[in-house]
Amino acid sequence: MIEFLQQVFNGLAIGAVYTLIAIGLTIVFGILGIAHFAHGVVAMSGGYVTFFLIEKLGVPFFVAMMLAMLVGAILGLLVERFAYRPVQNAAHINAFIIALGLTMMIDGLNLLAFGPDQMVIRTPFQSVFNLAGLVVTELRVYVMVTTAVLIVAMSFFVSRTKTGRAIRAVAQNRSAAILMGVNVNAVALVVFGLSSALGVAGGALVGAMLALAPGLGESLVIKGFAVLILGGLGSVPGAIVGGLILGVSEALAAGYLSSAYKDVIAFLVMIVVLLFRPEGLLGKK
Amino acid sequence: MSTAKATYGWALLSLMALVLAPAMVQVPYFLHLGILALIWVIVAQGQNLVQGFTGYVSIAAAGFMGVGAYASTLLTSKLGWSVWTSMACAPLVAGLLAVVVGYPSLRVKGHYFAIVTMAYNLVIFIVLINFSSLTGGESGITGIPKPENFSVLGLIVNFETRTAYYYLTLIFAVLATTVCGLVLHSRVGRVLLAIRQNEPLVDAAGVFAWRYKMFAFVLSAALCGVAGALYAHFIGFLNPEPFGVDQSLNAILAVILGGSGTLAGPAVGAFLVVALPEVLRVAETYRLIVYGLLLVLTTIFMPRGIIPLLTHAWVWLTSLFKRR
């Protein structure tokens, strides 16, 4: 029983990261209809920036993460403006192919700038608690709390501010929003900034919990899309539920079946959901 | 009708060039690259069936290539089948797998489809790496035999020689292109194009779109399987590395660069994606960056690829001469 709970706890921590990545993907998809495959490498770049700030400049973890989120947001803006906007009226698949190209490009740049070695982001949260046999690492608690805080902050921004209202308007009906005088291009930029900042937070947390390495961006974004498919494209609650389910099922699969095949099991879950509920667990028909 | 004639002319011309190439090329390495490019022509034609004709971007080409490669290799080494029989089984195995995995994934469209197929590719890759009792894991399988010799009209064809293998792949590449051409100009091809244009309309017209999509997906996987088998028996060494997602992206790049939805496009694109890394070898560190940039720029500025561009240029040129 305690082993089961341990796996669930570990799964929730990694699931929180998947959720952060997936929320960024889902808002971009829900509002702009772009499958932003380059999200993963943007998140990883942010992780590298966090690492750099901590190791080379001695910035505290959370400050470094915030600064990296800012850098990530700017990278997101650039990506939207120069890569996606030129094809916004072409077939959606063109944007996806562009995203694949961006992934290769940013991956190459990361490789050039930070090298091929694994890097673990150092954090001051090294304590380990023992709750009746359940091993709770401080870092994992921080990961979950950070995720929760970011999600609450984002929901507040989207539901309470004027910009947030514009974002929701574009999501509901793009043409009507344009007619109401919403600047759709500005909304697209804001959405990309927001999404990339959240993604970078995910990248920094995963870098602290596991490690940063080339190719991790792709694996993160694929997990993110798996979460989207689980929860329903464009749905934020779906991304939260889907992320946690994916994280926990992966951890359980690794603990009870085989750690080498844990990703296979995660994808199997995704495919089963697709078979029986193609719109996702919380998606609308 | 002069454009159609021109198309045949160009096709014949390039085929002749390909047939004569081994006699012209002095550097063995170029012949090696030629064989790889021809193998990639088969992959790209398969990719084009799904991506170019049907409008579904599948990111599993390399995965199916891997399935074909390992199927053929293992049938030869574990069961002792002749290479020819094993190679013939490769597309069947890949196609069968495509039937199984195509069913759930073809229920979804657009990005969903792309992501699900990518998940397949990842799963195939993970299995190839971890099922090491069968696949040899990361260290792979060595000493894969070449196809057995056979004699035509008293002439013994020895596939240990590069030239013989070159012609073998050339035959397969031409066959793959022909099959895709026949599909394109058949009723099935029309339905596939219609699916790309407007799938709900196809359904509304009483055509079971998913059957056609399934056909395209399975045929595409089978072509990738053949290509994989040809690759395995050519290189003689197999590990999972060439069958990862990045190689599937290469197949997409080949189709986009050449011109998706055309017959010549994937062929030209395949040669480009094999040649580009060689040209960029001087700048190995920048290869990924340049590749990515190329993909982005091509999609933005010439989304229909090189072939339509060339066609326009040709039409324009001929019209210049006619006016005189």
Per-residue pLDDT for B1 more than 50?
Answer: no
Asked if the Cβ–Cβ distance from A101 to B294 is below 8 Å, we say yes
For residues B130 and A213, give the distance between their C-alpha atoms in angstroms, rounded to a whole number. 20
Indicate the pLDDT class of residue B186, thresholds 50, 70 and 90: very high
What does the block give as tokens for A132?
């009746």
**Above 0.90 for ipTM, yes or no?**
no
Per-residue pLDDT for B3 more than 70?
Answer: no
Q: Looking at CA atoms only, how far is residue A85 from chain B in angstroms?
A: 10
Secondary structure letter of residue B304 according to DSSP: T
For residues B266 and B42, give the distance between their C-alpha atoms in angstroms, rounded to a whole number. 9
Lowest mean pLDDT among A67-81, A182-196, B306-320: B306-320
Asked if the Cβ–Cβ distance from B245 to A225 is below 8 Å, we say no
CB-hemisphere CA count at 13 Å for B19?
8
- Round the average pLDDT of chain B to a whole number and report it: 88
Structural domain containing residue B269:
2-323
Asked if the Cβ–Cβ distance from B252 to A92 is below 8 Å, we say no
Judge whether B227 and B175 are in contact, CB under 8 Å: no
Query: B292 to chain A: which residues are within 8 Å by CB?
Result: 100-108
- Round the average pLDDT of chain A to a whole number and report it: 90
Work out how many domains chain B is built from and give that number: 1
The string of pLDDT tens digits covering residues B32-41 is 999 999 999 9
| Residue in chain B nearest A273 by alpha carbon | B104
The residue whose two tokens read 């599909």 is: B183
Per-residue pLDDT for A189 more than 60?
Answer: yes
Asked if the Cβ–Cβ distance from B293 to A270 is below 8 Å, we say no
Q: How many CB atoms lie within 10 A of CB A173?
A: 11
For B304, residues 6+ apart whose C-beta sits below 8 A from its C-beta are B259, B260, B261
**In angstroms, what CA-CA distances link A2 with A135, A251, B266?**
9, 14, 56
Per-residue pLDDT for A192 more than 60?
Answer: yes
Report the residue count for chain A: 285
Q: Looking at CA atoms only, how far is residue A42 from chain B in angstroms?
A: 14
Indicate the pLDDT class of residue A1, thresholds 50, 70 and 90: confident
What does the block give as tokens for B300?
């933005």
The string of pLDDT tens digits covering residues B122-167 is 889 989 998 888 888 888 888 888 888 877 777 777 888 888 899 9
Asked if the Cβ–Cβ distance from A93 to B119 is below 8 Å, we say no
Say which residue, B45 or B25, is predicted with more confidence. B45
Question: What sign does the dihedral A246-A247-A253-A256 (CA atoms) show?
Answer: negative
Judge whether A59 and A236 are in contact, CB under 8 Å: no
For residues B279 and A52, give the distance between their C-alpha atoms in angstroms, rounded to a whole number. 33
Say which residue, B232 or B321, is predicted with more confidence. B232
The string of pLDDT tens digits covering residues B47-105 is 999 998 998 889 999 999 999 999 999 999 889 888 899 999 999 999 999 999 998 88
* Residue B155 β-bridge partners: B152
Plot region of B140 (φ>0 → left; ψ -120 to 50 → alpha; else → beta): left
Q: Looking at CA atoms only, how far is residue A18 from chain B in angstroms?
A: 16
The residue whose two tokens read 């006699």 is: B23
Judge whether A280 and B114 are in contact, CB under 8 Å: no
Per-residue pLDDT for B295 more than 90?
Answer: no
Query: A111 to chain B: which residues are within 8 Å by CB?
Result: 285, 288
Say which residue, B8 or B101, is predicted with more confidence. B101
Which pLDDT score is estimated for B321? Answer: 82
Which pLDDT score is estimated for B282? Answer: 67
Asked if the Cβ–Cβ distance from B303 to A267 is below 8 Å, we say no
Quote the strand ranges of chain B, DSSP E.
Answer: 150-152, 155-157
Coil, strand or helix at B294 = helix
The string of pLDDT tens digits covering residues A15-24 is 999 999 999 9
Q: How many CB atoms lie within 10 A of CB A229?
A: 31
Judge whether A73 and B265 are in contact, CB under 8 Å: no
Secondary structure, 3-state, A203-219: HHHHHHHCCECCCHHHH
CB crowding B281-320: b at 16 or more within 10 Å, else e? eeeeeebbbbbbbbbbebbbeebbbbbbeebeeeeeeeee
Highest-confidence segment of A196-205, A230-239, B129-138: A196-205
Which pLDDT score is estimated for A157? Answer: 93
Partner residue opposite B245 with nearest CB, options A96, A98, A218: A218
Say which residue, A126 or A151, is predicted with more confidence. A151
Indicate the pLDDT class of residue B118, thresholds 50, 70 and 90: confident
Asked if the Cβ–Cβ distance from B300 to A260 is below 8 Å, we say no
For B139, residues 6+ apart whose C-beta sits below 8 A from its C-beta are B239
Q: Looking at CA atoms only, how far is residue B69 from chain A in angstroms?
A: 21
Q: What is the mean pLDDT of residues A29-43?
A: 90
The string of pLDDT tens digits covering residues B190-222 is 999 999 989 999 999 999 998 999 999 999 999
Question: Where residue B105 sits, what CATH number does that domain have?
Answer: 1.10.3470
For A17, residues 6+ apart whose C-beta sits below 8 A from its C-beta are A143, A147, A202, A205, A206, A209, A220, A243, A247
Judge whether A204 and A46 are in contact, CB under 8 Å: yes
Judge whether B51 and B260 are in contact, CB under 8 Å: yes
Judge whether B223 and B51 are in contact, CB under 8 Å: no
Asked if the Cβ–Cβ distance from B289 to A83 is below 8 Å, we say no
Partner residue opposite A264 with nearest CB, options B126, B245, B246: B126
| Residue in chain A nearest B257 by alpha carbon | A97
Asked if the Cβ–Cβ distance from A104 to B108 is below 8 Å, we say no
| Residue in chain A nearest B288 by alpha carbon | A108
User: Pick from A122, A128, A138, A137: which is nearest to A65 by CA?
Assistant: A122
| Residue in chain B nearest A271 by alpha carbon | B104
